[in-house]
């Protein structure tokens, strides 16, 4: 069978650390193009892997009829435009998370997916990791009983990424700790619970500790160097409460959450608690899970021991398979759109200081 032909659009951090090596390790595909606005970044990948052509204009990739699919690894402000252009050019798309800066942009991407029939998957990589899938299997099997509450913690002490740069500029990233980091946690929650519909959302997003860029105190800057004359207009702390509904219109679990890129509390917390009437699970972000229950009138704790597969490799393998077979993946825009709606509602609730009711 002919190999699937791939174009990479955006040869920055996630493109070079996750997408490109995963395509290179998949025997069923080959990369024809490395595209980046900065030619040297694209050219360095051609040199490194000894394949493909370096280009700066992504339309050169899209206009080549040989190309079957593209990975969109640009920053978030370009996800909508590049993905839509790619689908209209007849290419299947895997676009990085978050789907887009706003729910409206994500809806536009979904509309064009429906119009063109091309695949549009979003890089919600946790849906391809071992731990969330193990937890989902346990939940689907009813082992936790009725899950009535989920608590989500994504709190760091000082972890604003590249302050003053793309990550902290709303026009580029769309949002801060909630949209950049929290989205991974919310996506895991939605996946494990079977994507229940949000019914009411209350949120508060704060932009506090990063606002004075030169005055921000940190030990080491996450992701990239600070830009002291840059922009900081995104959230660095967020909290809220969500009610959900499961089909056919029965109350689903409520969800409460706290997230911080930076806070004046010296702790790091990264986990999701699924609290059921038979058992509970703490899913540690990137660190396995513990199940709490009772047996024979005794409290028990189960800490399973297993190897975590490479989620990015699984994600790329599944994408290549889906390009060939047309199979709908759990990362399809039709599924991910609920999380985009949820993120928007949290920001809207915060901006308007009221509860959003769907």
Residues that bind ligand NAD (CB under 6 A): 9-15, 35-38, 41, 58, 73-76, 78, 96-97, 123, 125, 166, 180
How far apart (Å, rounded) are the C-alpha atoms in residues 299 and 296?
9
> Is the Cβ of residue 224 or residue 324 nearer to ligand NAD in the bound state?
224
How far apart (Å, rounded) are the C-alpha atoms in residues 272 and 217?
28
> Is the Cβ of residue 199 or residue 224 nearer to ligand NAD in the bound state?
224
Residue of closest CB approach to ligand NAD: 12
How far apart (Å, rounded) are the C-alpha atoms in residues 199 and 253?
11
Shortest Å, Cβ 179 to ligand NAD? 8
> Is the Cβ of residue 105 or residue 166 nearer to ligand NAD in the bound state?
166
Shortest Å, Cβ 73 to ligand NAD? 5
How far apart (Å, rounded) are the C-alpha atoms in residues 98 and 78?
11
How far apart (Å, rounded) are the C-alpha atoms in residues 214 and 63?
45
Q: Which residues contact 61 (CB under 8 A, 6 or more apart)?
A: 7, 9, 32, 33, 35, 55, 67, 70
- Tokens 């299947």 sit on residue: 92
* 8-state DSSP, 125: G
DSSP bridge partners of 7 = 33, 70
Q: Which two tokens stand for residue 75?
A: 């920053």
> Is the Cβ of residue 73 or residue 190 nearer to ligand NAD in the bound state?
73
Q: Which two tokens stand for residue 162?
A: 């590249």
How many other CB atoms are there within 10 angstroms of residue 346's CB atom? 29
Shortest Å, Cβ 36 to ligand NAD? 4
Shortest Å, Cβ 41 to ligand NAD? 5
CA distances in angstroms from 38 to 10, 33, 54, 85, listed in the order given:
9, 14, 10, 20
> Is the Cβ of residue 14 or residue 262 nearer to ligand NAD in the bound state?
14
Shortest Å, Cβ 169 to ligand NAD? 12
> Is the Cβ of residue 41 or residue 134 nearer to ligand NAD in the bound state?
41
> Is the Cβ of residue 175 or residue 203 nearer to ligand NAD in the bound state?
175
Shortest Å, Cβ 213 to ligand NAD? 19
Shortest Å, Cβ 157 to ligand NAD? 20
> Is the Cβ of residue 108 or residue 355 nearer to ligand NAD in the bound state?
108
Q: Which two tokens stand for residue 183?
A: 């989205």
In 15-58, the DSSP E strands lie at: 29-35, 53-55
Shortest Å, Cβ 65 to ligand NAD? 20
């Amino acid at each position: 069978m002919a190999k699937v032909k791939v174009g990479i659009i955006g040869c920055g951090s996630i493109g070079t650390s996750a997408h490109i090596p995963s395509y290179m390790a998949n025997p069923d595909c080959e990369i024809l193009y490395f595209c980046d606005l900065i030619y040297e970044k694209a050219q360095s990948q051609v040199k490194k892997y000894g394949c493909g052509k370096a280009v700066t204009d992504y339309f050169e990739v899209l206009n080549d009829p040989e190309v079957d699919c593209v990975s969109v690894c640009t920053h978030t402000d370009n996800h909508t435009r590049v993905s839509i252009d790619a689908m209209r050019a007849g290419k299947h798309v895997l676009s990085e998370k978050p789907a887009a800066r706003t729910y409206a942009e994500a809806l536009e991407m979904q509309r064009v997916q429906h119009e063109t029939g091309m695949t549009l998957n979003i890089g919600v990589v946790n849906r391809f990791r071992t731990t969330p899938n193990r937890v989902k299997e346990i939940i689907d099997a009813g082992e936790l009983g009725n899950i009535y509450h989920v608590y989500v913690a994504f709190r760091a002490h000082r972890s604003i990424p590249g302050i003053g740069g793309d990550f902290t500029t709303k026009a580029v990233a769309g949002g801060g700790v909630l949209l950049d980091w929290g989205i991974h946690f919310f996506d895991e929650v939605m996946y494990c619970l079977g994507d229940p519909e949000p019914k009411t959302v209350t949120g508060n997003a704060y932009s506090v500790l990063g606002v004075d860029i030169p005055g921000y105190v940190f030990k080491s800057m996450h992701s990239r160097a600070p830009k002291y004359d840059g922009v900081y207009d995104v959230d660095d702390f967020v909290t809220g409460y969500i009610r959900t509904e499961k089909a056919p219109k029965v109350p689903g679990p409520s969800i409460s959450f706290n997230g911080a890129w930076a806070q004046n509390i010296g702790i790091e917390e990264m986990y999701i608690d699924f609290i059921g009437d038979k058992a509970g699970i703490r899913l540690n972000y990137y660190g396995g899970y513990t199940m709490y229950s009772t047996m024979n009138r005794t409290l028990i704790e189960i800490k399973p021991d297993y190897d975590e597969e490479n989620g990015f490799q699984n994600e790329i393998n599944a994408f290549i398979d889906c390009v060939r077979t047309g199979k709908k993946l759990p990362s399809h825009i039709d599924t991910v759109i609920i999380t985009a709606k949820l993120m928007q509602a949290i920001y809207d609730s915060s901006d308007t200081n009221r509860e959003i009711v769907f």
